[in-house]
Amino acid sequence: MPRPTCKRRIGFQPKAVFFKPAGIPLGVVQEIVIGHDEVEAMRLKNLLGYPQEEAANQMGVSQPTFHRLINAAHQKITDAIINGKALRIDGGNVTINEETVGPCHWRKHWGRGCSSAEAVASQVSLTQEERGGIPMKVAITSIDGTLDGMVDERFGRAKKIVVVDDGTNSQEAVDNVTNMNAAQGAGIQTAQNVIQAGAKAVISGHLGPNAFRVLSTAGVEVYTASGMTVRDALEAYKAGKLPKLTGADVEGHW
C-alpha cells in the first residue's frame, strides 16, 4: 500500500479557477486540471521569486517534490496554450496556511496574514474612500526605529521598519531582526510584510532584485535615501525630492 502524501501548505486561493481559449465552444473544448499545490509552486517561484529551497519550505515539501510540482504545472500550462485547451484549478492535497505563505513574523503587529503580491496589490490600489477613509502609509527602513534615527541602507536586512501614516503622521516601528538574520529570502519576506501594512511607498537605501520585483508587482513605489534621518527622508519624499528607483540597484542578499 503506498504511503499517503503529506498535505502541501498553500497561502493563496485564486479568484478565477477556469480559463478557456477564445473561439472554442465550451461544450467541445478539452480541459486540463491543475492542482492548487501546482499553482502555489508557480506563485512562489515565478511570481514572488523564492529560491527553490525556500519555496519548498514554505509549502512543507521536499525540494524534489517541489520540483515535480512546478514541472507538472509548467507542462499543463504549455499543453493548454499550444493545444488550445481549457485550464481548471482544482484539487491537490493541500491545506490552507492561515499564518501566511511565508513566515510573516510581523502579523501580530498588523493583524493580517500575507497573500500573493497580486492580491495585495489589489488592496493597495484601493482609494481612500474604498478603504473607509484610511490614509495610505509609507514604510522607511531604519537603524533604530525612530524618526530622528538614520535610514538603514538595507531593505530586507534592515534592523527596523518605520511605518508612517501619510495622512496623520502617526507612526509604528516594527522590529525586523528575524528577516535581518535570515539565511535567504529576507528581501521577499520584508517586501510582503510592507505590502501587507498598506504601504504605497517604500524608502530605503538600496533594494535587491527579488524585493523590488515583489514590491513593483504590488504597485508599491520605491525611493532611495542615503545619509539622512527617517524624518528628513520622509519630508523629502513628501516634497518630491527623493530619487525613485526603477529597478534593483544592488545584487541579491543585500
Q: Is residue 92 part of a domain?
A: yes
Q: Is residue 205 part of a domain?
A: yes
Q: Which residue range forms the structural domain that includes residue 78?
A: 8-96
Residue 32 sits in the same domain as residue 135: no
Residue 161 sits in the same domain as residue 77: no
Q: Is residue 60 part of a domain?
A: yes
Q: Is residue 245 part of a domain?
A: no
What is the reported pLDDT for 236? 93
Q: Round to whole Å and give the CA distance between 152 and 144.
A: 9
Amino acid at 253: H
Residue 164 sits in the same domain as residue 202: yes
What is the reported pLDDT for 78? 96
Residue 146 sits in the same domain as residue 226: yes
Q: How many domains does the chain have?
A: 2
Tell me the pTM. Answer: 0.52
Residue 116 sits in the same domain as residue 228: yes
Residue 65 sits in the same domain as residue 174: no
Q: What is the dihedral of CA 150, 212, 208, 71, to 10 degrees?
A: 150
- Strand (E) or helix (H) holding 79: helix 63-83
Residue 90 sits in the same domain as residue 113: no
Grid coordinates of 127: 482609494
pLDDT along the chain (254 residues), means of 10: 70 84 87 94 87 89 93 96 93 71 37 41 42 66 93 91 82 82 79 85 92 88 93 92 89 64
What is the reported pLDDT for 109? 36
Q: Is residue 208 part of a domain?
A: yes
Q: Which of 70, 202, 78, 196 is nearest to 141 (CA)?
A: 202
Residue 42 sits in the same domain as residue 128: no
Residue 175 sits in the same domain as residue 152: yes
Read off the CATH number of the domain in which 41 is found. Answer: 1.10.10.10
Write out pLDDT tens, residues 96-153.
764 444 433 333 333 333 444 444 444 434 433 344 444 478 999 999 999 999 999 9
In the DSSP assignment, the letter for residue 2 is: P
What is the reported pLDDT for 183? 67
Q: Is residue 249 part of a domain?
A: no
Cα R_g (the chain), whole angstroms: 20
